[in-house]
Structure 1
Amino acid sequence: MHGMLVPMEPLNTERRVIEAAETLALSLGNNPNHTVAAAAMDTNGRIHTAVNVYHFTGGPCAELVTLGVAATAEAGPLVAMAAAGDGGRGLIPPCGRCRQVMLDLHPDLLVAVQTETGPQMRPIAKLLSDTYFFPDAQAERVFRFNRRYYDAVVSGRKTSSVRWDEQIAVGPAIFYFEDDAECAPLRGEILEAKRYQIDDLTPERLRLPEGGSVEGYIEGLRQHYPLMPVDAFVDVVDFRVVPSDSGPVHEGQMATA
């Protein structure tokens, strides 16, 4: 699973998003009205693509057109986005307006940006820090897991997780298992998120089984978050999977439990 502090190497599924944007951009001709292509992936692994519509009155960027295309396909929340320019310009970062829209409508989105070492994925919240949040966006939330936890989450053996530097929201969420098409997203709910400084963690607060080691857990947490400060505050998140009879996550994505 991704740690939320940048930079982050793209996962295989995210590289597919980047490739889709770059491939579409390379197909653009010399039409000045369409110069940027974008691609976005939903929690079911489907990739949605579109191009910008330039106009002097403020035609939409490729990222915003892609959001509309995804919404038309009932994609639900998006987990990865990339944009590329025509003429071989490669990856380009989103403009300020696109960043604000993506943050409000898809607050758990990762965005591909070009760096000196190659493409990196950045949480949209990190691309627009200290920002205004549109209160009526009603965005669906995504809670990410490493795919190795799928069976434990589905069976109910795993009902808590410790996170650092992530945007946690109590309430309904889609549980998304990264980089694995075999693990379908689940409908779930974040029940509670309590913040503790690392030195204040106890077996009870970590929900450890009898004999579990706080030191061992923290060491594993530091391996997952190598840039986490020694005196960091972390969130202990309690969650549950919502029974499958609650209906589909969204079109094409059935919750199973």
Structure 2
Amino acid sequence: MAVAAAYGPTGDIIAPCGKCRQVIFDISPDICFVVREPNGLTTRTAKTLLPLAYDWRAAEQRQRIYMWEGYEPVIRSGAKRQTIRIDDPFRPGPAELVFERSSGEVTVIEAIVTEVRSLSRSELTDDDARRDGFDSLNDLHRALDQHYPGLSDYSTVDVVTYELPPPDGGV
């Protein structure tokens, strides 16, 4: 399917306005617009013409939480039940914990984000450290320094707590 916009008085093909791009994007991001480029007419998808569009479909997808591959065993064992993030917003609801291995293999674990708390790094507690799979608050701070160099005591962090569904799918 392709759509073209034309300038009324001349009938020349013109680029669609932002509102038209968004309306077509809402129908399907893969619909093509006919547009004029320096070498003539060509087609571009609504997604290409509106790269940072509001996409209601994204809200229906599971959020993906990318994790370091070394955390997988402690997550599976239940020793790590949260992650601390900077400028990486999450919300309560279904999620996927994604481990991209150095080998190129990707492992995904289903999870449910149960809580997201925003606080300053200095407000983190020993309980936060334990839920994050660390023996002490000092160990947690060392890991934060490794993952987020230059993070100050006053930087805002998001503490993302999650649960894994029971292995048998039961309650």
Q: Quote the offset at 1:139 in angstroms.
A: 2.7
Q: In the alignment, which of 227, 240, 243 is matched to residue 166 of structure 2?
A: 243
What is the TM-score normalised by the length of structure 1? 0.43
CA distance in 2, matches of 1:208, 1:169: 18
Tell me how large the CA RMSD over aligned residues is: 3.3
- Counterpart pick for 1:143 among 31, 50, 65: 65
1:107-156 per-position Cα deviation (integer Å, ceiling 9, x unaligned): xxxxxxxxxxxxxxxxxxxxxxxxxxxxxx42321111111111222232
Higher strand share: 2
Contact 2:80 2:130 in 1 (8 A): no
**Structure 1 pair 244/56, CA: closer, same or farther in 2 (3 Å)?**
farther
AA aligned opposite 2:74 = A
Equivalent residue for 1:177, pick from 99, 113, 127: 99
Query: 1:228 maps to which residue?
Result: 151
SS at match of 2:70: helix
- Of 51, 54, 59, the residue aligned with 1:98 is 51
Select the residue among 83, 87, 94 that pairs with 1:161.
83
Structural mapping, 1:25-40, within 5 Å: none
Q: 1:229–1:177: structure 2 CA closer, same or farther, 3 Å change rule?
A: same
TM-score (norm 2): 0.62
Q: Once the two structures are superposed, what CA deviation does each residue of 1:37-95 show, in whole Å capped at 9, x if it has no partner?
A: xxxxxxxxxxxxxx995513995438x4xxxxxxxxxxxxxxxxxxxxxxxxxxxxx65
> 1:241 corresponds to which letter in structure 2?
L
Quick one: structure 1 residues 52 and 228, their matched pair in 2 at CA, closer, same or farther if it must change by over 3 Å? Answer: farther
2:138 corresponding residue in structure 1:
215
- How has the CA–CA distance of structure 1 residues 228 and 157 changed in structure 2, closer, same or farther, with 3 Å as cutoff? same
Offset of residue 170 of structure 1 = 0.8
On the 8 A contact 1:174/1:185 being kept in 2, the answer is: yes
Distance 1:227 1:100, change over 3 A: farther
Residue number among 34, 55, 58 corresponding to 1:55 in the alignment: 34
Residue 100 of structure 1 aligns to which amino acid in structure 2?
A
Deviates most, 188-197 or 229-238: 229-238
What percent identity do the matched residue pairs reach?
23
